[in-house]
Chain A
Amino acid sequence: MILVNDVKYHEVHKKTLLSDIEEYKRTHNSRMPKEYMGETHVANNETYSNWVEVKQKRDSNLHMYSGHLLYDFFADKGIQELMGKIGKDMQMDKFTDFDWRLDIAWFQQYYTNAAHHWHNHADCQFTNVYFLELPNEDYKTEIIGLEGELLSYEAKEGQMITFPAYLQHRSKPNGNGRKTIISFNSSYQTG
């Protein structure tokens, strides 16, 4: 199950988020550890502690402080509608109402040869990857099934993929041309 959806107003998000990411990189040490290979920037550690703090307030499904780099993106009506659509596509509304919850979100930016090894996302239902910059679709996220088989799907810049969080996936060593993704964990609740 790999769902592929267009992100509404992609060009607007791209312009805004890339600008914000540049500013973030300028003011934070966001380079990933060596084991991730190559020149990669990520913002998850910085955001995690804030996420925990806001989660306790339970004042929205975002669980994210309003100053978060990605807050405006997730607060956008289009993204809220898209997450609702994905829930309906999975028929979460089959028997009761449902809601979705953002567990944690971050960006990752890959330069030539940068990579993120095989991993899965723990403690949530779904992994989501929004391809903010994907100059070459050959370098989109690779996902394997539970018998190690590579799962086939098509996606391009401006689209978001959603798949079960237990599935192992990776960003293989990137080619020329910067790749930027917004990654986040989400869960649904019913009743």
Chain B
Amino acid sequence: MQHRLDSFYFTFRLSNHAELKNTLLKQIDESEQTENNKPKADDYYSESITKLDWSWSKDFSRPWTQTLKPFLEKDISNEMSSHGYKESYIQDLWFQQYTTGDTHGWHIHGHTFTGVYYLDLPKGAPNTQIVNPTNQQEIIVPDVGEGDVLMFPSYVIHRAPIIKTNVNKTIISFNSTVNLITAPVLEKLR
């Protein structure tokens, strides 16, 4: 698992994906706080998302976030600790459900790290594409599968390509930040 400046993204598996998947999908189905983001005539860039709850991304009382957040935080914390960070925080957490024809155009996020947890990624659903920040001519498709978490710096341009087959895709997206250096790294620097 690398995370250097020339290998700017990293992936890990959500430890409890198998036991959480059905509960999370059910809670998302039953969620009352949802919206859609279908194209409008004056849209600046392509975006068509059947169901999402971005507008409530800072509300961690939503049932599905209460189910997922403790597990996701723990795994992110372990991952960030391996990169020398003592603390990590989730600042925004929301789902996006894509059906045939849906897409989320090229964009970046705020805060420090962008994360994507692939909750439901059936065969035929396209993976996230990201632009290499050190070589912008290169578009990378990280090798991720259902149950994986992909993270990269929030200034990295990325998109969810259009779904061309008859499948649905559900991802959990999050913004996060890191803080403070771990004792082993500090010791190494002395």
A residues apposed to B, CB below 8 Å:
1, 90-92, 94-96, 118-120, 122-126, 144-148, 151, 164-166, 168, 187-191
Distance, CA A190 to CA B91, complexed state (A): 20
Give CA–CA (A190, B179) in the complex, Å: 25
A34–chain B nearest beta-carbon distance, Å:
18
How far apart are the CA atoms of A126 and B111 in the complex, in Å?
A: 10
Give the total number of A-B pairs whose CB atoms are below 8 A apart: 95
- Look across to chain B and name the residue whose beta carbon is closest to the beta carbon of A170: B189
B100 at the interface (CB under 8 A from A): no
A94, B159: Cα distance in complex, Å: 13
Asked if B3 and A146 make an inter-chain contact with CB atoms under 8 angstroms apart, the answer reads: yes
Q: Once the chains bind, are B4 and A122 in contact (CB under 8 Å)?
A: no
* A164→B85 CA distance, assembly (Å): 14
A126 B84 Cβ-Cβ under 8 A: no
Interface size on B, residues (CB 8 A): 35
Chain B residues closer than 8 Å to A144, beta-carbon distance: 189
Evaluate contact between B91 and A123: CB separation under 8 angstroms.
yes
Q: Does B45 lie within 8 Å of A125, measured CB to CB?
A: no
Interface membership of chain B positions 106-140, coded 1 if the CB is closer than 8 angstroms to chain A and 0 otherwise: 11101111000000000000000001011010000
Residue from B45, B84, B113, B155 within 8 A of A168 (CB atoms): B84
Q: Which of A94, A125, A191 meets B112, CB within 8 Å?
A: A125
Which residue of chain A is the closest to B7 with respect to CB atoms?
A: A146
The contact sample of 21 A-B pairs, CB cut-off 8 A, is: A92-B155, A94-B106, A94-B131, A95-B45, A95-B105, A120-B85, A120-B180, A122-B178, A123-B111, A125-B153, A125-B154, A146-B3, A146-B4, A146-B5, A148-B188, A166-B85, A166-B113, A189-B110, A191-B45, A191-B105, A191-B106
Contact residues in A for B91 (Cβ distance below 8 Å): 123
Residues of B within 8 A of A (CB): 3-5, 44-45, 83-85, 89, 91, 105-108, 110-113, 131, 133-134, 136, 153-155, 157, 177-181, 185-186, 188-189
A151–B5 alpha-carbon span in the complex (Å): 10
CA A1 to CA B136, docked complex, whole Å: 13
The residues of A that contact B155 with a CB separation of less than 8 Å are: 90, 92, 125-126, 164, 187-188
Question: CA A189 – CA B91 in complex, angstroms?
Answer: 17
Query: Nearest Cβ distance between residue B149 and chain A, in whole angstroms?
Result: 17
Residues of chain B with a CB closer than 8 A to A126's CB: 155
Hey, which chain A residues are within 8 Å of B154, CB to CB?
125, 187
In the complex the two chains form, is A122's CB within 8 Å of B177's CB?
yes
Q: B106 touching A168 by the CB < 8 A rule?
A: no
Partner of B186, one of A118, A146, A151, A166: A118
- Residues A148 and B136 in contact, CB atoms below 8 Å apart: no
Pick from A122, A124, A168, A190: contact of B157, CB below 8 A: A190
Please determine whether B4 and A123 come into contact, CB atoms closer than 8 angstroms: no
